[in-house]
Structure 1
């Protein structure tokens, strides 16, 4: 059976069996044409020959590398354990060896506290293993005493311990309520006054509103230590600050009064007057001196002036 087929270019070709066929290379439409075979390079996946063997080889190499790492790690752990065990046994041997027994304790810098008191605070009696002594604990126990300003503990092998003490220095008695305390030159409280280690010191009285004098007291004590004026800190029996005035009662009975705001200049002017009275042999008659407003007044016993 014959039929006509029309191509894009308008040509008609006679075919048999009802089919049509286009001759030119352009695109055409064919009724009933068989399905085309897939070309090479399409998106369909095809396994490559021998791929399973490559994957297996890679897995085998990875397993071998991991096994090697595990062996090295095991050896390192064994080495660390051996070294640690050796150090532990070595330390235990050192801490029981009598060569490191504490045989000598050197104590320096103490004056108020006796050597036995310092040793009691330290908690050492001799015979302890010097390597087992906790230096910080020893320092902490000694520092717990209120008279200790600082302490240094040094371990000297094989069997010596050095304790270097710095003690607080009491300059005054300060009354708080009904209790009398030792105080440093800056007014800091140290400890209550007790019969043991008793020391006679000047009494410091601070009236309300005169707390600023505590800031000047370290300078005051330092200048007295350098003999700047005509009396020493030990010569003071009573020091009273209050109402804008500073009053000093000396052990020889003299009284010194000056403005608290100009205490340093007032004492300098008093010294000039005291030196002049000494040259005139009249200092022994002085009972009271007052410095205020840049001037100095003196009361003498023989004239009552």
Structure 2
């Protein structure tokens, strides 16, 4: 009987175990696949960013103007200066806002992006409270006292403002506008003209040639209430500058 050979061991490889090289190749394929997916993802993101920021793919195709009345859409678009095809995401909305807000007739504007390619401009135009006749025409004045437009003829439906130079910094303009802003709706149709040389000598011309000495812009609501009562009495001249001592003559 022969003796067993020392130093040798005989191992039986499990039938379901693949060679080591096969496992390595399998792991490598998984790693390569993951790297490829990651690379394609990065390239897709880079491509999308490039298309959005640097190509007309999501560029401006339409400028939608809303809320305009006296201004035409083309006038607003010309000032907005938004180039067709400009990448929508790269537009400087503040610059566009400031350009459109610089139009004298514009009181406020909102600028909005709307995918895929629209820029919407929503305007609020100034509304005149009166017009001032000057050598170059009739100047429209809004509720802030801003002189914002010139017409060749008097604006229909608004009183004439008799002022030396309409300006939001002029005390007479501020007083006249302040009074008109607070007048009740019932009284407005009666007012044909409003005059002032300072902030304390506002005067009205009403329909029928009647006149009103108003005084300052203080206590406008109370003065208006007193005037409405006085107008029920016969007279041509009404003084409500001191509402407690109002007179009719």
- TM-score, reference length from structure 2: 0.62
Q: What runs of 5+ residues in structure 2 fail to find an aligned partner?
A: 1-41
**Aligned to 2:245, which of 295, 301, 305?**
295
> Structure 2 CA distance, aligned partners of 1:95 and 1:115?
27
Per-residue CA deviations over 1:87-116 (Å, capped at 9, x if unaligned) read 776544335655414334332222221222
What is the aligned partner in structure 2 of residue 189 from structure 1?
147
8 Å Cα contact 1:110-1:166 kept in structure 2: yes
What is the aligned partner in structure 2 of residue 117 from structure 1?
75
8 Å Cα contact 1:106-1:163 kept in structure 2: yes
- TM-score, reference length from structure 1: 0.52
1:247 and 2:197 matched = no
Q: Secondary structure at the match of 2:128?
A: coil
What is the aligned partner in structure 2 of residue 256 from structure 1?
212
Per-residue CA deviations over 1:137-171 (Å, capped at 9, x if unaligned) read 32232122111222221112221212121222221
Q: What runs of 5+ residues in structure 1 fail to find an aligned partner?
A: 1-83, 300-305
**Aligned to 1:274, which of 211, 216, 231?**
231
Q: Secondary structure at the match of 1:111?
A: coil
8 Å Cα contact 2:59-2:117 kept in structure 1: yes
8 Å Cα contact 1:246-1:263 kept in structure 2: no
Shift of the 251–127 alpha-carbon distance from structure 1 to 2, 3 Å rule, reads farther
1:167 and 2:125 matched = yes
> Structure 1 CA distance, aligned partners of 2:63 and 2:136?
40
What is the aligned partner in structure 2 of residue 231 from structure 1?
187
Displacement after TM superposition at 1:256 (Å): 1.4
Shift of the 94–207 alpha-carbon distance from structure 1 to 2, 3 Å rule, reads closer
What is the aligned partner in structure 1 of residue 38 from structure 2?
none
Residues 1-305 of structure 1: pairs in structure 2 closer than 5 A: 90-95=48-53, 99-124=57-82, 126-174=84-132, 180-191=138-149, 193-195=150-152, 199-200=155-156, 201-206=158-163, 212-217=171-176, 219-224=178-183, 226-227=184-185, 230-232=186-188, 235-242=190-197, 244-260=200-216, 264=220, 265-275=222-232, 277=233, 286-291=235-240, 293=242, 294-299=244-249
Counting matched residue pairs gives 201
> Structure 2 CA distance, aligned partners of 1:202 and 1:218?
11
Bigger Rg over Cα:
1
What is the aligned partner in structure 1 of residue 18 from structure 2?
none
